[in-house]
Structure 1
Amino acid sequence: MTPVPPLARRNPVAKLGAALLFALPLIATVDPLTPALALAVELTVIPFSGVRPSLLARRAWPLLIAAAGVLISMLLFAADRGGDLLATAGPFDVTTGVLSGAAGLTLRIFAVALPGILVLATTDPTDLADALVQNARLPERFAIGALAAFRLLPLLGQEWQTLSLARRARGLAPGPRLFLTTAFALLVGALRRGVRLAVAMDARGFDAGTPRTHARLQRFTTADGALLIAAVLLSAGILTTTALLGLFRPITG
């Protein structure tokens, strides 16, 4: 039997909490050093999660599009264009200040999103729902509904492809009209499926209000608590390092 990596063995609530505790403080500053240090820590942790690089690349490629959009927006519309002038493109001046702000936001996208990707890639959705109820004490109706929605997410991609091919077969050329009609049809289909799923869950007693048993017991161990503490200490250490180097730039400043 293949051994389970250390991080993959942790309680789903502990992994989710550690991701939030580590990533959210990074939003407090806009300097590029803080997310760069966070990314270095996250890349170091990846081997202990057991997530293959190919799977990570498939899950993280949308971040490249988001980062490219942020980079272009900052280069074109940044209000603060202080620092040394590096290049001029028409009415736009590319300065060291613009590049620093763009780098900070771009790196922050990856630093904040990567922990969540690792958590989802190493957590079974059913275990996550059970842990939210047993360990985080969330309402069962919310946890089970979230589980059902999570299970249906892969269907949206398949339906998008099916709807697009059907409209292409009817002669609708690629363009804004194809995108809008496909998106509207996908939204309508998702709402209908959600209504049917809610009725089916209520018919099976998910809203009965009676105590429910759990087939999978989720235990919160000392190692899970240590993971949360480590996430807090690492995040605080990164922010402290940035402040000591004089590069801390609060987002409210």
Structure 2
Amino acid sequence: MTLLDSRARTGVIARINPVAKLGASALIALPLIFTLDVVSAAVALVLELLLLPFAGLGWREFWLRTWPVWLAAPLTALTIALYGEASGTVYVDWFLVRISEGSLELALATLLRVLAIALPSVVLFVTVDPTDLADGLAQVLHLPARFVLGALAGLRMVGLFLDDWRALELARRARGVADRGRIRRFLGMAFALLVLSIRRGSKLATAMEARGFGAPVRRTWARVSRFGWREWTLMAIGAAISAAAVCAAVVVGTWNFILGPG
């Protein structure tokens, strides 16, 4: 674990149950998924930015974790601006590109919407440990333990894929079959990695079954997953941000329910 990760896991946000983080992210994202307007996304984003300093992350950590979001949001907005549905005044009309007043408004709404949905999710889940998340899903949400533990075991194996890929690449180079034909080499290595993953998954499933992970009895847990006032406070903050965004859009008259008729 790097120094950056260790500092992030000791912040205020790290002590909150991952289930509450999942719930708060869902509460914020849900109304923004059903509407596409500038006001609701802008209000949600502003409120989130005001609360980010209390998340326990330094600015360097924040930018390192969220830079893909800041890169993807403008690119998405650019696509909407160039190829979105045209309405109002048309500024540019060339081949497939049509930039209009309506497409620019949709692009701005899309930009703010992506940021408002993605930023809190990244910040809230930056310190989530897979084991803590599995404990919360099984003990708080009471999801089937067999499913949760199987998913946790599979997630723990994801980190081995990169090592396996490197080992396969070195082995093929040692045999002299990795010097040309990049596409063919990639497909061959992908198939070999798939076979290796299936074999490892079968062995892991057998080992877990032998240790009683699939027994039809009530499970005990090494660590208790608690859901207290911190978690309810975070959920309430997420609900308040959603309510403020929806109310602002309705009052201003920009609420645009994208699943509605017409």
TM-score (norm 2): 0.79
Match of residue 172, structure 1, among 167, 180, 189? 180
1:56-86 Cα offsets, whole Å, 9 max, x none, are: 44444444565466345434542x2002223
Q: Distance in 1 between matches of 2:196 and 2:67?
A: 26
After TM superposition, the structure 1 = structure 2 runs for residues 1-253 of structure 1, keeping only pairs within 5 Å, are 4-63=10-69, 66-67=72-73, 70-71=76-77, 73-78=79-84, 80-160=85-165, 170-172=178-180, 180-253=187-260
Which amino acid is 1:192 matched to? R
1:6-34 Cα offsets, whole Å, 9 max, x none, are: 33222221121111112122101111332
Say how many residue pairs are matched.
250
Aligned sequence identity (%): 40
The answer to whether the Cα contact below 8 Å between 2:69 and 2:119 also exists between their aligned partners in 1 is no
1:55–1:81 distance in 2 versus 1, CA, 3 Å: same
The answer to whether the Cα contact below 8 Å between 1:133 and 1:143 also exists between their aligned partners in 2 is yes
The answer to whether the Cα contact below 8 Å between 1:34 and 1:239 also exists between their aligned partners in 2 is yes
Q: Distance in 1 between matches of 2:95 and 2:48?
A: 39
Which amino acid is 2:207 matched to? A
Q: Distance in 2 between matches of 1:112 and 1:186?
A: 34
Which amino acid is 1:191 matched to? I
**1:235, distance to aligned residue in structure 2 (A):** 0.5
1:149–1:98 distance in 2 versus 1, CA, 3 Å: same
TM-score (norm 1): 0.82
The answer to whether the Cα contact below 8 Å between 1:51 and 1:122 also exists between their aligned partners in 2 is no
> Structure 1 stretches of 5 or more lacking a match?
none
> Structure 2 stretches of 5 or more lacking a match?
1-6
The answer to whether the Cα contact below 8 Å between 1:51 and 1:121 also exists between their aligned partners in 2 is no
